[in-house]
């Protein structure tokens, strides 16, 4: 599948989430929480390399790499509720996630 088509599909999903969330924040969050990009990535990977072992390794790694991103979704709302600006909150949440990824990466299998 051509890169442009993959990028277009992913971009449309992001646009859908932001459009829905503007009017219905909870429903937008539900759509955003679905592993749509992961599933699309798996489909694209399967077409590029239909190898069950490779796909299983990819899926397991995806599971473990989701875990360090979860605290961001707890910390950021607390920061916003305490009056910290959006951009500082976003930078802090991303920084936390990067730090947790860095801590987890050495323990990941190849």
Residue of higher predicted confidence among 53 and 33: 53
C-beta of residue 10 within 8 angstroms of C-beta of residue 37: yes
Helix axes 52-66, 86-104, angle to 10 degrees: 130
pLDDT in tens, 35-87: 888 898 899 999 999 999 999 999 998 999 899 999 999 999 999 999 999 99
Q: What is the pLDDT of residue 110?
A: 64
Q: What is the CA radius of gyration of the chain?
A: 16
**Distance between CA atoms of residues 38 and 90, nearest Å:** 22
Domain ranges within the chain, ordered by starting residue: 1-50, 65-110
pLDDT in tens, 88-107: 999 999 999 999 999 999 98
Closest among 104, 13, 6, 110 to 58, alpha carbons compared? 110
């Amino acid at each position: 599948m051509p890169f442009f088509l993959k990028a277009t599909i992913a971009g449309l999903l992001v646009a859908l989430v932001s459009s829905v969330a503007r009017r219905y924040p909870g429903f937008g969050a539900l759509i955003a929480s679905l592993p749509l990009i992961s599933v699309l990535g798996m489909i694209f990977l399967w077409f590029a390399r239909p190898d069950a072992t490779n796909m299983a390794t990819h899926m397991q790694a995806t599971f473990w790499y989701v875990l360090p991103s979860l605290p961001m979704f707890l910390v950021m709302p607390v920061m916003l509720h305490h009056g910290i600006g959006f951009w500082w909150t976003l930078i802090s949440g991303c920084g936390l996630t990067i730090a947790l990824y860095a801590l987890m990466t050495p323990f990941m299998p190849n």
